[in-house]
Amino acid sequence: MASSVDGWIRRQGFPDLAPDANLSRGPRERLIQALLGLCALVTVFTTLGIAAILIGESVAFFRQVSLAEFFGDTKWTPQFAEQHFGIWPLLAGTLMITVIAALVAIPIGLAAAIYISQYAPDRVRRWLKPSLELLAGVPTVVYGYFALTFVTPLLQHVLPQMQVYNALSAGIVVGIMIIPMVASLSEDALRAVPRSLAEGAYALGATKYEVVLRVVVPAALSGIMASFILALSRAIGETMIVTLAAGATPKLTLNPLESIQTMTAYIVQVSLGDTPQGTVVYQSLFAVGLVLFVLTLGMNLLANRIILRFKETY
């Protein structure tokens, strides 16, 4: 662009403009562009750094523990004399927390999204949305405190056989933590549905709830699904709530009233202890981290794919 303008100016016989005319190609501009580009590259190097550290240490881990044992054994006992490194108990613990959290967050979050986007008067929405966002701003360690010192004693009144550290209260509180995420992302999807669809349904004689449940929600389904996946990926990676309230006993169980251990809680447990570098227990932290990373990355990519692929165009 600039050069063709320059050429035109010269052809018209005008004198050369001041040296400033080429400012946009000058060294100062190029330096600034390079610096800004470098800033953008930091984000790429962050990903590469995470991958390099996780994979590097995991390779060292898998030199001592075979993949067959990692994915075949059903015991995780790194601290015992007889060490077992089977990931399943940690995966099962993570899965149990995630399922409980989903049972809490999906119905409540979706209901809140529907209410805020379809029912709430403008005035109510203006204070409901920020209040839900406050819920998202609560630090996870505070939720952990809440799960251990409030929810667990509360549930123990109803379920006296419940252990102090248990999957149920941790899972419920993780669910509460991700409600705002489900609600806000689903609400965006619901609000993106064109009004004409709802108006068409009204014109055919549908009542409000029929319009909402049978027209608007199905039209926004891909966005809603993506919000579920993103929220559950957050639940899988949640650390402080499960470290404080779910316990440190990796086991394969279906009983949510017992103490379990998630992948994240194990990572924290190892880093808290005085495990020397270079030992297999220390390296197991990175192997578990790699599984966690792959799992959450996969879910995030899937959600991204769903949003792009099923973006409805009306």
Partner 1 sequence: MTEVQQAVAARFDLRLERRRRLGQILAVVLFFSTLFGLLVLTSLMVDVVRKGVPWLDWQFLTSYPSRNPEAAGIKSAIVGSFWLMLLTALFSVPIGVGAAIYLEEYAPRGWFLRLIQLNIANLAGIPSVIYGILGLGLFVRFFALGRSLLAGALTMSLLVLPIIVISTQEALRAVPQGIRESAYALGATRWQVVSNHLLPIAAPGILTGIILALSRAVGETAPLVMIGALTFIAFLPESLLDPFTVLPIQIFNWTARPQEAFRGLAAAAIIVLMMFLFLMNLSAILLRNYYERHRPH
What is the CB neighbour count within 10 angstroms for residue 289? Answer: 20
What does the alpha-carbon distance between residue 138 and residue 151 come to, in Å, rounded to a whole number? 16
Nearer to partner 1, 10 or 208 (CB): 208
Tell me if 226 contacts partner 1 by CB under 8 A: no
Residue 153 Ramachandran class (φ > 0 left, ψ -120 to 50 alpha, else beta)? alpha
Give the binding range for partner 1 (CB under 8 A) out of 7-15, 68-76, 109-117, 251-259.
Answer: 109-117
Tell me if 273 contacts partner 1 by CB under 8 A: no
Q: What angle do CA 266, 267, 269 make, to 5 degrees?
A: 60
Give the binding range for partner 1 (CB under 8 A) out of 76-84, 193-201, 218-226, 233-241.
Answer: 233-241
* Nearest distance, CB of residue 82 and partner 1, angstroms: 27
Tell me if 271 contacts partner 1 by CB under 8 A: yes
Nearer to partner 1, 73 or 281 (CB): 281
**CA torsion, points 40, 44, 50, 55, in degrees to nearest 10?**
-170
Q: For residue 209, with 0-12 CB atoms within 10 Å meaning exposed, 13-18 middle and 19 or more buried, which class applies?
A: exposed
Nearer to partner 1, 39 or 81 (CB): 39
Token couple for 128: 């409901």
Residue 217 Ramachandran class (φ > 0 left, ψ -120 to 50 alpha, else beta)? alpha
Contact mark string toward partner 1, 60..99, x via CB under 8 A = ----------------------------------------
Tell me if 42 contacts partner 1 by CB under 8 A: yes
Tell me if 294 contacts partner 1 by CB under 8 A: no
Nearest C-alpha neighbor of 113 from the set 216, 204, 267: 216
Residue from the set 9, 99, 252, 297 that interacts with partner 1 by CB under 8 A: 297
212-243 b/e (C-beta count within 10 Å ≥ 16 → b): beebbbebbebbbbbbbbbbbbbbbbbbbbbb
Contact mark string toward partner 1, 173..202, x via CB under 8 A = ---x--xx--x-------------------
Nearer to partner 1, 72 or 298 (CB): 298
Residue from the set 237, 249, 253, 302 that interacts with partner 1 by CB under 8 A: 237
Binding to partner 1 (CB under 8 A): which residues in 112-141? 112, 114-116, 119-120, 128, 130-135, 137-141
